Amino acid sequence: MNYHELKSECYQANLLLPEYKLIDLTFGNVSVCDRGQRVLAIKPSGVDYAVLQADDIVVLDFNGTILEGKLRPSSDTPTHLRLFQAFTGIRAIVHTHSRNAVAFAQAGIPIPCFGTTHADYFYGSIPVTRPMNIDEVNSGYELQTGNVIVERFKDLDPLAMRAVLVHGHGPFAWGASGQNAVENALALEIVAEIALKTIQLKSEAGSISQHLLDKHYLRKHGEEAYYGQLR
């Protein structure tokens, strides 16, 4: 199999994380999957973005078997695999430790939808998972991280809510491509920063109305969307 295009897409998306200031040090990773081949490409564990090369990207099958790559894949690979299995409409996943989103995750607080900037990307408050128990942390931690995300989305549509905060940890976002997933991760960090400032200005600020949320989200997403240029 030739995984050149998949690895290239994954590599380019990973390079956007430091460019957009979504990561510090070697935190974070991007994965991109090919559902037809049932494989995913992901950043190798602990490799500095400044020296990362396209050939460093690791390719695995959906069972977690390495198919191509000399380096160990990201330690978060089991989380990515679990989300790809559960959220069948997504192609790419981004995990960052972007500072404002992490602040909400560490507080265990969802990011409220205070205004239209948020509503343009996310259909409601950004959810946060429950805390993981000791057994989950000590037994297959990364897989269990994926499991608590899937549990949180039991009654949520991952195509309408393309991000989540893992309690005490940080954000995951996803999308239709590597670039799209990174865009959603950037949007998440932007709305997290705006939400923090809103709370500082008015601690009891309320969420926007449902009709305004509907208007802004649905004009960009769905069958009747009219924002942007027709393709």
Instruction: Please identify every residue annotated as catalytic.
Output: 120, 227
Query: What residue type is assigned to position 109 of the chain?
Result: I
Show the beta-strand stretches assigned E in the chain. 29-34, 39-42, 58-61, 66-68, 92-95, 163-166, 170-175
Q: How many CB atoms lie within 10 A of CB 187?
A: 18
Paired strand residues for 173: 94, 163
Query: What residue type is assigned to position 88 of the chain?
Result: T
DSSP state of 64: S
